[in-house]
Amino acid sequence: MALSCSSLCSRLSLVRLCGLRTNRTTTGLYSQYVSCQSRLPLCRHYTSSKVRRGIGRYVSSRLQWANKKYETFLKRRFPRFYQLYHTFVEGFKLLFQDAKEVRRIKAKMYSDGVKFQDLPYREMEKLRQFRRDMIKAVPLVMISLPPFANYLVFVLMYFLPRQLLIPHFWTPRQQVEFRGVYNSLRARHHLPVLKGLEYTSHQVKDSHLQSCLQGSVLCTDLVQSGVNPKVSEILAVRRLFSGPPLGIKRMSVDHMRHISPLLFLTPRLPGFFIGRRLNSHGLELLQLDRALSKLGPHQLSDAELRQACFVRGLNSDCLSINQCREWLSQWLQVSSSLKDSEVSLLLHNMVFLSANYHNGLKWSH
């Protein structure tokens, strides 16, 4: 019966391929084929697509079983390597989740005609952070694609986690440790920025402009003496940062090279590119502040609050949540009053408000 069925099927295929148009022959063959199919339950219930799905589920289940066995073996025999392996796997999951979220945001922006500056704060921050992360993550993903190349990634994770990996692949302990390292690297440029402001005030020959610059020097002296300037004192010198000599496009190249590390930008570029990058990142930060002001700092979770302070130059890991929230409120008071042309003051504010905040809290108690 099975042979006759297969022969009929093959005959039917040959008839169709040869292009025979005899209705009686085709109809007869088809009726015999249908009757044969009705007598074979296996032909009705087990189609090729169902077989493929069944094989796929079986292979997937076996792979999951093997992966669990492998993880159990690593956890029991090599606990430190298992921690790296687990961080690696979970990091890729988080990275793919972020990629899906960014794709959704991009699709909404395209379909609804929404611009970046009109997005809610969390979506705006997700796009900003994902773009920065992907610059470092793409080489890592390309390295891990070949078979067994993920072991090379484990070696890199072990020896150079901060330099080569993005926060998705850091352990919670490493995240706190590396933020401290980045804050210390950023703090090295606080004094050069302040010295640059003081030097600029002495080089100005215009008496009116020089008298205005005394306000900037006042902020500089306060920070150098270990005191945080007030929001009103910072806003009093805002117009100096919209034109010469402290505007984002009017600063000296040396001064811009000291400000770039505050945003984790390389200073080893021509002055023209440094100015454009500072202006772009400063405007992006200003747009983030405007979106955050609409949302309200009290709506942020503890992790989001600490991350927001870190992005704006504060070492938030050594502060309480209430102190972080108070500092962020002061920051937003300054940024909410600034225009796009005054973005240079926002970048200097990373020094004015952040340099001595923790010390000022210590002395106040």
Q: What letter would DSSP give residue 236?
A: T
Residues 233, 291 within the same domain: yes
* 211: containing domain: 187-364
Residues 11, 160 within the same domain: no
| pLDDT (0 to 100) of residue 211 | 67
DSSP for 1-55, written as a single string:
-HHHHHHHHHHHHHHHHHT---HHHHHHHHHHHHHHHHH-HHHHH--HHHHHHHH
Question: Is 76 a domain residue?
Answer: no
Say if residue 142's pLDDT is above 50.
Answer: yes
Residues 251, 122 within the same domain: no
Q: How many domains does the chain have?
A: 3
Residues 251, 161 within the same domain: no
Residues 24, 95 within the same domain: no
| pLDDT (0 to 100) of residue 114 | 92
Place of tokens 């006759």: 4
| pLDDT (0 to 100) of residue 159 | 84
Question: Is 286 a domain residue?
Answer: yes
Sign of the torsion formed by the C-alpha atoms of 216, 221, 223 and 228:
negative
Q: Binning pLDDT at 50, 70 and 90, where does residue 355 land?
A: confident
Sign of the torsion formed by the C-alpha atoms of 159, 162, 163 and 164:
positive
Residues 244, 99 within the same domain: no
| Domain boundary pick from 168, 201, 221 | 168
Residues in Cβ contact with 187 at an 8 Å cutoff, skipping those fewer than 6 apart: 315, 355
Residues in Cβ contact with 130 at an 8 Å cutoff, skipping those fewer than 6 apart: 98, 99, 102
Say if residue 11's pLDDT is above 90.
Answer: no
Residues 323, 263 within the same domain: yes
Q: Binning pLDDT at 50, 70 and 90, where does residue 50 land?
A: low
Residues 211, 244 within the same domain: yes
| pLDDT (0 to 100) of residue 131 | 92
Question: Is 353 a domain residue?
Answer: yes
Residues 217, 164 within the same domain: no
Residues 142, 247 within the same domain: no
List pLDDT tens digits, range 313-334. 999 988 999 999 999 999 999 9
Residues 23, 163 within the same domain: no
Residues 291, 193 within the same domain: yes
The pair phi, psi for residue 151, each rounded to 5°, is -70, -35
List pLDDT tens digits, range 17-35. 334 344 434 444 344 444 4
The CA-based angle 179-185-189, given to 5 degrees, is 135
